[in-house]
Structure 1
């Protein structure tokens, strides 16, 4: 698959399954979707659903998908596979497919996904996907997986996790802006009085340290971060057979 994300979540397998298979819960933690709604189901056929993403206050891009799961497997793992498509002309994703795999691991579960899609808009779409959209999708998936982990492990709701992330990003941005522009630096030096002249020589070093701390220190424990997820698939990773049995939605 084109994108691979893996997170280890210390939670019961049934709890993780419920938070990922229930559309109402899924849409709360997954940054990629604003709405996930099941469509009328035909007995004996895979579950159909509608997904939507609000790109701008006045622009929502929607599509449909089909999914099927294997809740009981001989090796104790679980699998869910899906195919999706969007007819919206502004959707870069024309169609695609992927899977979730749940692998029990000691006191937790390795929750992993692999997925890929076909971009539209010809050569321009392929270039935009490679340079911008695909890295963004990978980051959003990993960030969402860590937000789910915080919900199950620490009880941090997805809404609270988003606020934590926004607050931390804002603080880091203010620190970088302060360091790069020297905003308020003269006031600080005035407070130092007779030591201001000596401190002035150290200011470039101190400002550089501030920038490094703002950019590279690890996120707080209750703040979701994509960097906590594995992004490189193991050599033996492959899509489940159930994915090949699904047809693209119409």
Structure 2
């Protein structure tokens, strides 16, 4: 079961492309990565990159990937596709592929922001550890990856639409969770009869407009969604090189 996330972002198409394609900007808003670095490659070849995620203060899991993009298309859309692999034995994710699409809404041309951009991704991966890994993936890891992708897309939207930096958006999210937990705790301590209602409200109430939320993103793909052709081009390349883990 592949993952699909879609957000509508009212921003300039060039700005959105820049914030998603430049590693220094991408790693700031994407909760799934701590570091993204381009690797040297020859002109005209797909771009290889290294990515890393700090799971614990003393544990960083890294992998490699290769990407290619179509920045100019006749219909005004843009596409970026990638393959990735992680050799780290502690990584549940072994290898996978996916794409990003940038679809200006009707009435929006290049360099305009009238109706927004449908920014969407579809990706899938193969878990390691056999049946145990498949079970852990379906029960916990895949839902977590879907939520993290959607939350990150909304954090990117706040950055481009409202000028709220990813760092500030994270602080807003932490404060939001803390206030909800405080409200539930207060209900348990001082009004136990209302504790259940307080917990339900903490879950149901929407976040503030300045706080990123995964629920704002579409998680179900349209019926005729299909992967871009450029992704099949990447699938013909040689296997990705492994990355030596930092000591």
State whether TM-score is above 0.5.
yes
Name the counterpart of 1:200: none
Q: CA shift at 1:28, angstroms?
A: 0.1
Deviations 1:154-181 (A, max 9, x none): 00000000000001001111212222x3
Q: Aligned partners of 1:155, 1:209: CA distance in 2, in Å?
A: 35
Name the counterpart of 2:111: none
Q: Aligned partners of 2:90, 2:185: CA distance in 1, in Å?
A: 35
Name the counterpart of 2:208: 220
Q: Aligned partners of 2:199, 2:186: CA distance in 1, in Å?
A: 9
Name the counterpart of 1:138: 146
Q: How does 1:1-250 map to 2 (within 5 A)?
A: 2-105=2-105, 106=108, 107=114, 108-179=116-187, 181=188, 183-185=189-191, 204=193, 206-246=194-234, 247=237, 248-250=239-241
47-56 or 239-248, which deviates more: 239-248
Q: Aligned partners of 1:2, 1:177: CA distance in 2, in Å?
A: 38
Name the counterpart of 1:199: none
Q: Aligned partners of 2:199, 2:91: CA distance in 1, in Å?
A: 37
Report the count of equivalent residues.
230
30-39 or 104-113, which deviates more: 104-113
Q: Find the residue that maps to 1:245 and give its secondary structure.
A: helix
106-115 or 55-64, which deviates more: 106-115
Name structure 1 gaps, 5 residues minimum: 186-202
Q: CA shift at 1:210, angstroms?
A: 2.6
Deviations 1:9-35 (A, max 9, x none): 000100000000000000000000000
Q: CA RMSD in A?
A: 1.2
Q: CA shift at 1:214, angstroms?
A: 1.5
Q: Aligned partners of 1:52, 1:215: CA distance in 2, in Å?
A: 31
25-34 or 99-108, which deviates more: 99-108
Q: TM-score, normalised by structure 2?
A: 0.90
Name the counterpart of 2:244: none
> Which structure has the larger Rg over C-alpha atoms?
1
Q: Aligned partners of 1:45, 1:230: CA distance in 2, in Å?
A: 33
Q: Aligned partners of 2:19, 2:27: CA distance in 1, in Å?
A: 9
